[in-house]
Copies of this chain bind each other. A is one copy, B any other.
Amino acid sequence: MQLTLADLAEQIGARLTQGGDIIIQGVNTLTAAGPSDVSFLANDSYRRHLANTQAAAVIVAPEQAEDVAGVALLADNPYLAFARATQLFDNRPHVAAGVHPTAVVAGTAQLADDVRVAANVVIGEHVYIGAGSEIGPGTVIGDHCTLGQNCRLAANVTLYHDVALGDRCTVHSGAVLGADGFGFAPDAGRWHKIAQLGGVRIGNDVEIGANTCVDRGALEDTVIADGAILDNLIQVAHNVSIGEGTAIAACAGIAGSTQVGAGCTLAGGVGLSGHLSIADGTHVAAMALISKSIDKPGVYASGTAQMPLKEWRRSATRFRQLDSMAKRLQQLEKRQEGEA
């Protein structure tokens, strides 16, 4: 892949100051870029690298144009322009055209003409897959699933039955969509399984990370709205709903029936208890536990900050005494007031 800097500028929506004929063959960091790479500055802490970069051109905000020694590509949102540049050099291999002879496709499945199906894929009854979608090796798609157009399922993905994906969804390897929600009725010391009769409904432009689980609903569906992005190793329990454009980092877990609003961000390892409602635009800091609904958007946290273990032990011991400490403090205040 190669293109002129002028072409690249046009395709990423940036304004070029000079050098439109330079041939660009890649995109890289300021320090690693070579003379046929384009680079970018989206974070001020890397500004010191501008002087020495070998990059053919650097994507920057207009106000930083003067700091660029060589060619500047001006963009109001340099990080977005950079994202577009990476897409021009996207080197992910595609599944080969057609349906691989080792794939097992049910007779009732309907695949658009140009769907690509890799080796050892298994596609169940009454599945529908839209145009331009591709299915990686070893992936299993259960009965009655529907995939929109231009979806990309990587290798070894599993979709149970009745899972619906919109258009342009990406699902990474090891992700499991539609496994049974964790529903059991206790009786006399035993757990009785509640058959999980709902499905999973996922909108357009959703990304699901590797080894992430989205369970099917108990009665109604588990729902992920358009444009939501989920990282790896995330648990989405039954009947959760995730709002439009919400981003969830790795290792987060969302318990059953919780509704996460639109435009939220959950940092890595966050836990949301079940049956909560989280307002649009809420942000949760890494590894925080949210156990009560949030109706006011903002940034929330829980836990304590890192400490050397020895000092932590002392604080942790005192934490157990906190209530007593608070009461003794009140006592002192009372006495002192009495004396005053």
Name A residues whose Cβ lies closer than 8 Å to a Cβ of B: 26-29, 32, 77, 79-80, 82-84, 86-87, 89-93, 100, 102, 104, 118-120, 122, 124-125, 136-138, 140, 142-143, 154-156, 158, 160-161, 170, 172-174, 176, 179-180, 182-187, 189-197, 205, 207, 209-211, 213, 215, 218-220, 227, 229, 231-233, 235, 237, 245, 247, 249-251, 253, 255, 263, 268-269, 271, 273, 285-292, 294, 298-323, 325-326, 328-329, 332-333, 335-336, 340
Contact = CB atoms under 8 A, between A and B. Distances in A.
The listed residue with most B CB atoms (<10 A of its CB), out of A174, A184, A245, is A174
Contacts of A154: 158, 160, 179
Nearest to A289: B287
A322 B122 CA distance: 57
- Interface SS of chain A: loop
Contact of A176 (B174, B192, B197): B174
Contact of A194 (B86, B304, B316): B86
Contacts of A195: 83, 86-87, 89-92
A235 B251 CA distance: 7
Contact of A289 (B187, B255, B269): B269
B213 A82 contact: no
Given A32-B220, A136-B140, A176 B182 contact: no
A312 B323 contact: no
22 contacts: A83-B195, A86-B195, A90-B197, A100-B104, A140-B155, A140-B173, A180-B207, A180-B209, A182-B232, A182-B249, A190-B245, A191-B229, A253-B268, A285-B309, A291-B306, A298-B308, A300-B306, A301-B309, A302-B303, A303-B303, A318-B323, A329-B329
Contact of A83 (B86, B194, B229, B235): B194
Nearest to A120: B120
Contacts of A229: 182, 184, 191
Given A302-B303, A302-B304, A122 B122 contact: no
Contacts of A320: 304-305, 307, 311, 315
